[in-house]
Amino acid sequence: MKTKKKDIRALSKEQLRDFFVAEGDQAFRGNQVYEWLWSKGAHSFDDMTNISKQTRTMLDDNFVINHIKVDQLQRSNDGTIKNAVKLHDGLIVESVLIPTSKRTTACVSSQVGCSLDCKFCATARLKRMRNLNPDEIFDQVKAIDNESRLYFDRPLSNIVFMGMGEPLMNYNNVLKAIDKITSSEGLGMSPKRITVSTSGVPKMIKKMADEEVKFKLAVSLHSAIDEVRTSIMPFNATFPLKDLREALEYWYAKTKNRITYEYVVWKGVNDKQKDVDALVQFCKFAPSKVNLIEYNPIDDGDFQQANEEALQMYINTLEANNITVTVRRSRGKDIDAACGQLANKS
């Protein structure tokens, strides 16, 4: 029986070099193929024009290149672009290109669906179907880089892991993808321009700190009171705030990298002075800033954005305590491309 062909992009450069040596060829052939796969984005072995026909056929007999396909591209009237991306097994994830006057940011997915059950997030309704492979994450970024060049005449400048899924629940693949994105053979992007956003998995935050990663960390906090946080993010019962706090202190001690807390203020959930006070206390544990995110309604309407007054109370209290606070207005709402709206509707 014919064995299933392997995804060639699951191999490291070393493994590719070893493969060619084992085939009686030379190790540098591995470098050539690696360059085709990662720098030049080859979609088929036949694209590899400096590789002999015989070698290309041999590769085709052994491997596949599981490229993603942008199945549908939607453009918002604010310039935001949402890609529905089809994976080799037919599953779909979404990624978003967010343009501002100076930057293009890619918001990418790390899982198909999500295993967490945040009550306010549309992706949570999908459940987790599987993790994305490093090449599937890389391809989303590459596709957005191409679109940025095509539509905005400039390369991609920033990446946020704020699409579908919990990146720290697919840690190894996310790190491998970031390695590719930052390496000169991939996109050569500085890790300082990459932000990994997590709901807060303490053990994994510590692991990242130990590995001294260079990208930025954002934590979806939404409440600094356990009871409230557990009611909207049920996994907080397993990873309570004191564990999160300890992991974040550890992160800062190791990386000296300031943390961003993402925070939505909802009517009747976390819009009281006691909620802000708890946030101020939490911000003192490790150098950090707060990003207040506008709520993007998902279909059932259980949650409502707090009023301007509550928002202003947050801003005033945080500023009075010398905590940097920014307000992030939504982009791409009209095409369901904003934070928490990614749910493969199409």
Interface positions with ligand SAH (CB under 6 A): 120-121, 162, 166, 197-199, 220, 262, 264, 293, 295-296, 298, 339-340
Residue 3: other Cβ atoms inside 10 A: 6
Q: Give the shortest CB-7-to-ligand SAH separation in angstroms.
A: 25
Shortest spacing between CB 12 and ligand SAH, in angstroms: 27
Flag whether 307 is marked binding.
Answer: no
Residues 6+ apart with CB under 8 A from 29: 17, 20, 51, 55
CB of 297 to ligand SAH, least distance (A): 7
Burial class (CB in 10 A: 0-12, 13-18, 19+), 45: buried
Nearer to ligand SAH, 220 or 288 (CB): 220
| Catalytic option among 107, 262, 283, 339 | 339
Marked catalytic residue, from 94, 136, 147, 262: 94
Smallest distance, ligand SAH to C-beta of residue 166, A = 4
Asked if 167 and 123 count as a contact pair (C-beta separation under 8 A), the reply is: no
Burial group, residue 77, by CB count within 10 angstroms (0-12, 13-18, 19+): exposed
Is 339 catalytic? The answer is yes
Is 94 a known active-site residue?
yes
* Cβ proximity of 164 and 93 under 8 Å: yes
Q: Which is nearer to ligand SAH, 66 or 330 (CB)?
A: 330
Residue 220 counted as an annotated binding residue: yes
List of residues 6+ apart from 84 with CB closer than 8 A:
70, 71, 72, 73, 74, 92, 93, 94, 344, 346
Asked whether residue 165 is marked as a ligand-binding residue, the answer is yes
68 vs 265, which CB is nearer to ligand SAH?
265
Nearer to ligand SAH by Cβ, of 156 and 298: the residue is: 298
Residue 222, annotated ligand binder? yes
What amino acid occupies position 252? Y
Residue 116 near residue 96 (C-beta atoms within 8 A)? no
Residue 136, SS3 per DSSP: helix
Known catalytic residues are 94, 339
Output the known binding site for S-adenosyl-L-methionine. Answer: 165-166, 197, 220-222, 296
Output the known binding site. Answer: 114, 118, 121, 165-166, 197, 220-222, 296
